[in-house]
Structure 1
Amino acid sequence: MPGQSEHIVIVGAGAAGLMAARELVRAGTTVTILEARERCGGRIHPLSISEFEYPADGGAEFVHGEAPVTRALLREAGLSLQEIEGERWSFDGADIMREDRHDPHEAELQAVLRDLRDDLTVAEFLRRHFAGDDYARLRHSIERMVEGYDAADPERASTLALREEWMHGGHSPQARIDGGYGALIDFLAAECRRLGVIFRFGCVVLAIEEAGGKMAVRCAGGDVQGCDRVILTVPLPLLRDIALPESARGKAAAADEIGFGNVIKILLRFSRPWWRERKQELANMTFLLSDQAIPVWWTQYPNGHPVLTGWFGGPRTAALSHPDPQALVDAGLDSLAAIFKQPRGEIARELVAAAATNWAHDPYACGAYSWATPRTREAQTILARADSAVLFSGEALYRGADMGTVEAALASGLETARMILRG
């Protein structure tokens, strides 16, 4: 079988890298994973249980939609999912109210989307089909979803890529893993070690060189790893920092046609769930939306942990570029004080633990996840070709509907490994 006698180096011990490694080593391939961090998981980032009293996620948290690869892996690992069913609320600047997700122009939007044949950016789609004051609420809702949920830029994001999401009301069903995503990564990493995958942490890859049919992967500090093939699973912005052989440079350039967005995530653990006491109707609240500096919040419902998670995605995160996590925590407290019309000091006194991450400032991520432009599908096809000894894999290369998710990363890693094994 192709790949059996090969030595393959995988750059990145995130979901895609671990999934590809396990599939390859099962088939008899020798696999080494080089990881810049001192841990596995990448943009999956478990936080301290002692601080939050449950396995909180500082990075990826939700399982979106059907996610067949994720769910199969969870069954294999003996891990369970908790589906999220609850209420969405919003703050309009004056009151907190249960969100009315019906728009009077919804049927018109669905009809235009169904008839759309040629791709447009979201901004151009709205200008062309939904200009004017009558559509202001619809435009605001779509732009907020594109920026906040997809972490995308409406001036570049593909309408056709987002059409399925919109046709289903804007949000697919969501669930959480009991034990968090860290439990799934622990299972995959343990499987890789059991099967013989070699891990080398603290290896920042600077260059991949090709000579005499062999590859050499050069790391900061002078370490060199020889191999037959390389699979790059790093986030898209990092591809610019790795010198590639000529055979791979042209393919890597196609990554510029794939969008990559940022997310700021803030977790605040309080001594008690004061928001439920402040407004009894919020007992079943999952999400709370607003136009505050930190615009999206969610609870751990149906679990009762007194934690609120703040989320800010898309191009506007550049406005909160301060590198100090405490500044992000302060912005979160300010936003909650405005939403609940409560003195900031009172909310801050209830705070027990906090964690804030601006993923753009993480040197091994430089952002959160990818999104599609009108030229992304063509770029993904170019990057997915197995026509050189350097291959590309990861959530940004997934061509299904769930691009940018952990499911996308797992599925992409699996497909890259199987492509190698098919020869």
Structure 2
Amino acid sequence: MSRKSSHIIIVGAGAAGLMAARELARARRRVTILEARDRCGGRIHPLPAAEFGYEAAGGAEFVHGEAPVTRALLADAGLSLEPIEGTQWSFEGGKLSREARHDPHEAELHRALKALKHDLTVAEFLHRYFAGSQYESLRQSITRVVVGYDAADPARASTLALREEWMVDVGRHTQARIVGGYGALIEHLEAECRARDVTIRLGSVVSGIEEADAGVVIHCANGEVHRSDAVVLTVPLPLLKEIALPCAAREKAAAAADIGFGNVIKILLRFERRWWLDRQADLSDLTFLLSDEKIPVWWTQHPAEHVVLTGWFGGPQTASLASLTEPELIRTGLASLAGIFGLSPDDLAQKLVAARAINWAHDPFARGAYSWAKPQTRDAQAMLASADGTAVLFSGEALYRGRDMGTVEAALASGQETARIILRK
């Protein structure tokens, strides 16, 4: 692969694909991105500002933790972060209450996590170390985080992979939003790529890849054929099974079965006014609201005063709503809010200005939301991320081996690392 003449095709114009393309183009490589959608961003999906009063996020919304790659990119783009501030509430047993800041068994949990030498699933870990009735609240808190935050299955999720996350504070994570949303970051990356002569072909659904003449031939569903020296697949894990791959790449892709992939249903409801303050005035700084309703997690845009409540339902339990249409999901969201606040769903519906519901499992170019780790995942990631002489490489949030797997930071960092691997050849 010649440094000056090599041509790299990247499949997918999400965060990982755009980041890899930018890094390669900066090194004066010829880059083409093939994107199945009619837009860039992938699971970053800004909604029209006219609809919600701001560029609401139909997909990724929060910046989690330190996120050094994201923050450096924001600085390049002249974008800023707004920390999440306010009060978290819960609705249990028919009552609204402020969330307790600490679990009384938190120190005991940390000791057990520090002492853990061999990986267990989360369910096994809780059964082995915290089975007693006195730990009921702790088990619920951890399970809620694993299912609702990580979109994972406790019966299969890795405890070691989640250990650092929990050691910070069970169920609470440093979070912020980008002013202007992730869409502004994607616009910056796309503009940088185009300024460096990266070709971005939208509506190009890749159906197969074959090796030929020390390079690759990429076939698209619309009949297009592209040739390059190497190809980087940044598509979500479920889509790897839908692309015909050369034998060696297919064997590597099989390792994806050892990486979890979860779903999320996201419901955005814009109202005429903040009616929830009528029910309880001290909800004025409400951020997150957790409940046992069908749509269990809700949040506001606080400290911004947009009159929007966002509902979130993640993990394997989302399969119970798989058959629902978007209007039915919106009605389910209204019913959940009505149950929390003791109102009529019909009355809430009359206060609606705009509403959207996105079930990411129904998105043909995602088939779910993001990845999570099983006990076997680190080995699978190492296999997928290795270059080992092949012209087909893999990249994306699912391959990130840091703390915040499944985030935009993970996707950006993976794309950056994949570019470095190619540039070292």
Do the two structures share a fold, i.e. TM-score over 0.5?
Answer: yes
Q: What does residue 412 of structure 2 align with?
A: 410
Residue 396 of structure 2 is aligned with which of 373, 394, 397? 394
SS at match of 1:23: helix
Q: CA deviation at 1:384?
A: 0.8
Q: What does residue 265 of structure 1 align with?
A: 266
SS at match of 1:254: helix
Q: What does residue 141 of structure 1 align with?
A: 141
AA aligned to 2:402 is G
Q: What does residue 104 of structure 2 align with?
A: 104
Superposed, which structure 2 residues align to 1:69-84 within 5 Å?
69-84=69-84
Alpha-carbon distance in structure 2 between the residues aligned to 1:4 and 1:155: 49
Alpha-carbon distance in structure 1 between the residues aligned to 2:107 and 2:16: 38
Alpha-carbon distance in structure 2 between the residues aligned to 1:87 and 1:164: 24
Task: Say yes or no: does 1:346 pair with 2:347.
Answer: yes
Identity %: 67
Q: Is the 8 A contact 1:123 1:154 kept in 2?
A: yes
Alpha-carbon distance in structure 2 between the residues aligned to 1:372 and 1:269: 34
Q: What does residue 44 of structure 1 align with?
A: 44
What per-residue deviation string (whole Å, max 9, x for no partner) do you get for residues 46-88 of structure 1?
0011110101000000000110110111111011110111110
AA aligned to 1:412 is S
Q: Is the 8 A contact 1:2 1:421 kept in 2?
A: no
Q: What does residue 150 of structure 2 align with?
A: 150
What per-residue deviation string (whole Å, max 9, x for no partner) do you get for residues 335-378 of structure 1?
00000011222211111000100000000000000000011111
SS at match of 1:304: coil
AA aligned to 2:367 is C
Say if 1:9 and 1:157 are closer, same or farther in 2 by CA, change over 3 A: same
SS at match of 1:327: helix
Alpha-carbon distance in structure 2 between the residues aligned to 1:39 and 1:256: 28
What per-residue deviation string (whole Å, max 9, x for no partner) do you get for residues 22-41 of structure 1?
11011111100000000000
Q: What does residue 17 of structure 1 align with?
A: 17
Q: What does residue 382 of structure 1 align with?
A: 383
SS at match of 1:216: strand
AA aligned to 1:356 is A
Q: What does residue 214 of structure 1 align with?
A: 215
AA aligned to 2:341 is F
Gaps of 5+ in 2: none
Superposed, which structure 2 residues align to 1:353-372 within 5 Å?
353-372=354-373
SS at match of 1:154: coil
Alpha-carbon distance in structure 1 between the residues aligned to 2:122 and 2:224: 45
SS at match of 2:79: coil
Alpha-carbon distance in structure 1 between the residues aligned to 2:212 and 2:196: 30
Q: Calculate the TM-score normalised by the size of structure 1.
A: 0.98
Alpha-carbon distance in structure 1 between the residues aligned to 2:25 and 2:295: 43
Q: What does residue 165 of structure 2 align with?
A: 165
What per-residue deviation string (whole Å, max 9, x for no partner) do you get for residues 164-189 of structure 1?
11111132211101111100000100
Q: CA deviation at 1:399?
A: 0.7
Q: What does residue 329 of structure 1 align with?
A: 330
Q: Which runs of 4+ in 1 moved over 4 A?
A: none
AA aligned to 1:21 is A
Alpha-carbon distance in structure 2 between the residues aligned to 1:8 and 1:268: 42
Task: Say yes or no: does 1:419 pair with 2:418.
Answer: no
Q: Calculate the TM-score normalised by the size of structure 2.
A: 0.98
Q: Is the 8 A contact 1:265 1:310 kept in 2?
A: yes
Q: Is the 8 A contact 1:93 1:339 kept in 2?
A: no
Q: What does residue 4 of structure 1 align with?
A: 4
SS at match of 2:218: strand
What per-residue deviation string (whole Å, max 9, x for no partner) do you get for residues 260-295 of structure 1?
000000000000011123211101110000010000
Alpha-carbon distance in structure 2 between the residues aligned to 1:4 and 1:128: 57
Task: Say yes or no: does 1:26 pair with 2:26.
Answer: yes
Q: CA deviation at 1:2?
A: 5.6
Alpha-carbon distance in structure 1 between the residues aligned to 2:2 and 2:311: 47
What per-residue deviation string (whole Å, max 9, x for no partner) do you get for residues 191-223 of structure 1?
100100001111111100012212100010211
Superposed, which structure 2 residues align to 1:178-327 within 5 Å?
178-327=179-328
SS at match of 1:18: helix
Alpha-carbon distance in structure 1 between the residues aligned to 2:404 and 2:144: 19
Alpha-carbon distance in structure 1 between the residues aligned to 2:404 and 2:102: 24
SS at match of 1:90: strand
Q: CA deviation at 1:323?
A: 4.4
SS at match of 2:348: helix
What per-residue deviation string (whole Å, max 9, x for no partner) do you get for residues 121-152 of structure 1?
00111111111322222111111110000000
CA RMSD of superposed structures (Å): 1.0
Alpha-carbon distance in structure 2 between the residues aligned to 1:175 and 1:415: 24
SS at match of 1:407: helix
SS at match of 2:204: coil
Alpha-carbon distance in structure 1 between the residues aligned to 2:232 and 2:209: 11
